[in-house]
Structures are given as C-alpha cells and as structure tokens.
Amino acid sequence: MADLITHACTALLAKAPYRRPVHVATFLAGTCLPDLIGRVPAMALTKLRYTLPAIPEALVYPWNVVHMPFGLLCTAYLLTFVFREGDRPPVFRNLVGGGLLHLAVDLLQFHFGVGYLLLFPFSTWDYEIGCIGSEDTVRIVPVLAPFTALVCWLRWRSSEGDLVR
Amino acid sequence: MSAILVATGAYYTWLAMTTIVGYRECVAEGAAREGFELTFPLWVVTAIDGPDRYRISKVIRDVPIEGSTAEIAEGSTVSVIGHFRASDGVVVQSVREVHVLRVYKELLGIVGTVLALLALPFGFRLRAGKVVERG
C-alpha cells in the first residue's frame, strides 16, 4: 500500500478537473477505505500479538479482503446503508471509484512475494505493475501534497468566481 | 452481502493458514523441506544475535535468519528471501532489502488516518440517523 496522504492527494487530483465536483468527501473516503479497513486492523493486530500472543492468528488475515476489488465492492455496498436511500447509488459509485483508484496506485508498487489478488475469491492469480518501490511514495509526498493543495486552492478560487458570475 | 464478505474473509484466512508453506511448516516437516525457499515480506527485526545472525517477526515470532546484520538494527523492517536449513531450523538469507523509509511511510499512514478521522465531520453530517455528505 502507498501511504494515505498519497492516496488522499490522488483522490483530490482526480476530482479536480470536474467543473463542479460532487461527492468529493465520499470519493476521498473510498480512497482511504482499503487501508483503513483492510490494512490498519491487520497491522495493529499483528503488532498487538507481540505483547498479547493469545490473540488468534486467524484474526489477522480476514481484513485483507477489503483491499481486493471484490471485498471492496461488498464493503462499499454495506457502507451505503448508513446513507439516505436516495443518496446510495452515487455514494456506492464514489466509494468504489475511490477504492479502485487506491488499488490502481498500489499496483504500481513492487513487493517481495505475492502481489495483489485482484480476482479473489474467484482466483488466487496475483499481479502488480511493480514500477516503484513500496516506500517510494514517501519521496513523492513532499511534492505531491503542496501540489495538491495548490490545485485545490486554484479550483476553489475558480469555483468562487463561477458563483459570483 | 455481509455474509458474503465474512465468507470471503474466512476463505482467505483458511488459504493463508493452510495452503501456503511457510517457516512453521518447514520446521514441522524438517528434512523434507531442506532447501525450501521462503519469502518474508516486510518483517521486523526483533533481535540481533551476532554479526551473521538475526531474528525477524511478523505473524510468527523470532524466525532465525543467517545473513549479514550490516545496515540493520532491532526495529528495522526487512524483506528477506532465503532457504530453510533443516539441521538447525535457520533460514539462510539469499536476498534482503532493508526498508529504510518504512518508518516514515508508517508515520505518514498514522498522520493520514488521524487527518481522515478529523476531516470526517467536515465532509459528512448526521441527519435523522443517516449520514449525509455536506456540500
């Protein structure tokens, strides 16, 4: 996984070209979803097991399916039920869109061992493009974050102008 | 849908715990796994036992590795490919990458998580028990 700052920046940049971007927060939430539900609990439990070995190993693994397209679709569908009924279709689209953007960015990374199981549970075929190292996004953030902030500010200024006109 | 998601998670867990031959299986099967190639992606160094011996942990604690300890310390994150040696249960390292920037990546992850949680009320609000996106 790339870091969440990089994912958030790519989400904001993906929405920036729209004249009147809508559901930005939902798209952003969708971009964070695979890591927040699919990775953070697994990583926290792995570290907790160092001090509390009684925690069953089986609790570490199942979260990972949220970091796969099928698990992401299921999770996004379930999350739509906390929204009002009329809002659910666009919320679902934006959660899934953000999540898929997250996976696309992660696919760029190279890892030792197994890549991303894109077709799980239907297949255990794994894939990654592998053109950047797994920590290379750390080097990108100092440029990407200010650039994203600048784009968002320019976008906000132009939309203010639209409203005045 | 929640049942499908839980079943998918359970299937993944079953695969991870039963079908992948890892260090535990090598130790259990001993000589039958002599020379078996093992991969340890993003494991944490938990002990340095000498100039050519260290231990790494993730879901299993303290897997002994034979390989140079130059450039690593306790707490370093490493990815290791090595071969199992049945006589003493040690993995002989053939490839190792030290993830020097991992700590910064984790820091960015924590900052991102905190920012995401702090930003939630600015992006969404509650109305009649349901979440509504602002704007």
Q: What is the pLDDT of residues A12-42, one digit of tens each?
A: 999 988 877 789 999 999 999 999 999 889 9
Find, in chain B, the residue whose alpha carbon is nearest to that of A75: B5
CA distance, residue B82 to nearest chain A CA (Å): 12
- CA of A54: how far to CAs of A46, A57, A58, B14, B29, in Å? 12, 9, 11, 19, 25
Distance from CA of A125 to the nearest CA of B (A): 13
CA pair distance B52, B134, nearest whole angstrom: 57
φ, ψ of residue A123 to 5 degrees: the values are -155, 155
Chain B residue numbers touching A109 (CB-CB < 8 A)? none
Nearest CA in chain B to A21: B135
Chain-chain contact of B57 with A113 (C-beta, under 8 angstroms): no
- Among candidate residues A58, A67, A115, the one with its CA nearest the CA of residue B39: A115
Is residue A155 very low, low, confident or very high in pLDDT (cuts 50, 70, 90)?
confident
Contact A64, A40 (CB under 8 A): no
Identity of the amino acid at A31: T
Contact list, B5 vs chain A (CB under 8 Å): 65, 71, 74-75, 78
Higher pLDDT, A162 or A28: A28
Which residues of chain A are within 8 Å of residue B100 when distances are taken between CB atoms? 135
Residue B82 C-alpha from the chain's centroid: 16
Quick check: B115 and A36 CB within 8 A?
no
Q: How far is B31 from chain A (nearest CA, A)?
A: 24
In the numeric block, which tokens belong to residue B66?
């034979």
DSSP per-residue string spanning chain B = -HHHHHHHHHHHHHHHHHTS--HHHHHHHGGGGTT-EEEEEEEEEEEEEETTEEEEESSSS-EEEES--TT--TT-EEEEEEEEETTTTEEEEEEEEE-TTHHHHHHHHHHHHHHHHHHHHHHEEEETTEEEE--
Q: Is the pTM of this model over 0.95?
A: no
Residues of A in contact with B111 (CB under 8 A): 4-5
Note whether A65 contacts B79, CB cutoff 8 Å: no
Distance from CA of A86 to the nearest CA of B (A): 10
pLDDT given at position A161:
57
* pLDDT of A20: 78
Q: Name the minimum distance, in Å, from the CA of A157 to any CA of chain B.
A: 16
The Cα angle at residue B19 between residues B15 and B24, in degrees rounded to 5: 115
The confidence score (pLDDT) of residue A2 equals 66
CA–CA distance, A29 with B10 (Å, rounded to integer): 25
User: Mean pLDDT across the stretch B86-103?
Assistant: 93
- Cβ pairs A/B, distance under 8 A: 140
pLDDT digits (tens, 9 = 90+) for B44-87: 999 999 899 999 999 888 999 999 998 899 999 999 999 999 99
Residue A164 has pLDDT above 50, yes or no: no
Is pLDDT at B40 greater than 80 in this prediction? yes
Q: What pLDDT was estimated at residue B18?
A: 85
**Closest chain A residue to B106 measured between Cα atoms?**
A3
Residue A64 has pLDDT above 70, yes or no: yes
pLDDT for res A165: 46
Reference A4, options B120, B106, B43; nearest CA is B106
